[in-house]
Amino acid sequence: MSSLLEITWTDPVTGCRGYVVIDTLVRGLASGGLRLRKGCTLEEVRGLAQGMTRKEALVYDPADRYIPLGGGKGGIDVDPADPQAHEVLARFIAAVRPVVREQWNTGEDFGLRQETIDKVAADLGLPSTVEAVFATLDDAPAARERLAEAFAVMVGGVSLGDLVGGYGVARAALEMAAREGIAEPTAVVQGFGSIGGAAARYLARAGVKVIAVADRDGLIRNDAGLDVEALLAARDGLGVVDRSVLTDVELGDRDAWLDVPCDLLVPAAMSYVIDAADVDRIQARLVVEGANMPTLPEAEAALHERGVAVVPDFLANVMTNAWWWWIVFGDIEPTEASSFAKIDAVMHRLVTRVAEAADESGRTLRACALEVAADNARAVTERVGIVG
């Protein structure tokens, strides 16, 4: 199936390329974040937009006020650490502003903080980057207030908005570990930004021994268990941990996370980091995809043959997107307790349904989750009448 809209933009100053892909529209709307990554391609953004279509459909509950949107995504081929990245981002948002106003509701993603995109939007005269949704609401002022309140909530020194996605990943991992009968699990987390950092925090708080994390500067390992809160306190805005304040850890190469024996392997940073050549290195019982598209299809098939289940990205990391809309549509209160309770309930429901279907059929978790998303998409179509 081809995308509804694909935009390729070239920055007139640096020559950097930026992309917007609208995969599907529901009631004229699409949802999906914007990433900054050196090497980002149109093909990558196209795949991410398709994943957003699945995420939106997957969490559909007819009892919710939130009716899923379509899927869209954006990406800019620039290193977020580049001194010119902010200016490139501003020019990109200015160029695609009509799509943001009318169709594409976006926010932070890999390499981009929410406060950064909010500032760029404000400088361009946009109250937010989800104006297309607000335009459809009868209670838009109240919805804006709920969203602002939710993002103002701090939990252990971290914004609630930066925690919900990783909390959902942790819940997916814990649900699957319980189903698999894994007692006292250990975990390795690759990536220590908002998703990876929060996943590590809530795995550790649930009693999982987090024995290694990897950021862009390499591996940090302690087989007796890392002090995750100390690591969070030592990371910068790009998720890189200051090694100078660490004690009782072993440092390793950036890609050594694949070799660490563990029960739960959580790739939570970049796409395409597990390919077929990496499968024999993995010594985990479960792979839980905190990042978007981290496992290539051939690798996932090989892991399935080995009996290693892969919890797909559009299930494991769906909660950042869903949380935004539960807040906006008023399905939950803008609080930590209401947010986490909703995530707990929905993740339990989804993992149970998908895992039971996989157990009965022998298919992958991805195949079964795709089936659930497709069923839900048909239900949404019947409810709203038109899906573009």
Active site residues: 73
| Positive/negative CA dihedral, 191, 47, 317, 82 | positive
- Which has the closest alpha carbon to 267: 247, 287, 239? 287
3-state secondary structure the chain: CCCCEEEEEECCCCCCEEEEEECCCECCEEECCEEECCCCCHHHHHHHHHHHHHHHHHCCCCCCCCCCCEEEEEEECCCCCCCCHHHHHHHHHHHCHHHHHHCEECCCECCECHHHHHHHHHHCCCCCCCHHHHCCCCCHHHHHHHHHHHHHCEECCEEHHHCHHHHHHHHHHHHHHHHCCCCCCEEEEECCCHHHHHHHHHHHHCCCEEEEEEECCEEEECCCCCCHHHHHHCECCCCCECHHHCCCCEEECCCHHHHCCCCEEEECCCCCCECHHHHHHCCCCEEECCCCCCECHHHHHHHHHCCCEEECHHHHCCHHHHHHHHHHHCCCCCCHHHHHHHHHHHHHHHHHHHHHHHHHHCCCHHHHHHHHHHHHHHHHHHHHCCEC
